[in-house]
Amino acid sequence: MIKKKMPEKEEPAEKKESKTAAGKEDNSTKEPAGTNTEEALSPAVAGDQETEAQASERAAADKVVPAGETVEVKLAEMQDKYIRLSAEFYNYRKRTLREKMELSKYASECLLLQILPIMDDFERAIAHMETPGDGKAVKEGIDLIYVKFTEFLRQNGVSEIESLNSPFNLDLHDAVAKIPVQEEEKKGKVVEVTQKGYYLQDKVIRHSKVVVGE
* Residue-level pLDDT, tens digit, the chain, 214 residues: 444 444 444 444 444 444 444 444 444 444 444 444 444 444 444 444 556 656 666 655 555 555 556 888 888 889 989 999 999 999 999 999 888 888 877 777 888 888 888 888 888 888 777 776 667 777 888 888 888 889 888 988 899 999 988 999 999 999 999 999 888 888 889 999 999 999 998 899 999 999 999 8
Give all domains of the chain, ordered by start, each with its CATH number. Answer: 159-214 (2.30.22.10)
The answer to whether 178 and 211 have CB atoms below 8 angstroms apart is: yes
Q: What is the CA radius of gyration of the chain?
A: 57
> What is the model's pTM?
0.50
Q: What's the rounded Cα separation, in Å, for the pair 160 and 149? A: 13
Concatenating the DSSP letter of every residue in 15-79 gives HHHHHHHHHHHHHHHSPPTT--HHHHHHHHHHHHHHHHHTHHHHHHHHTPPPHHHHHHHHHHHHH
pLDDT of residue 211: 93
The letter for the amino acid at 152 is: F
pLDDT of residue 134: 67
pLDDT of residue 202: 87
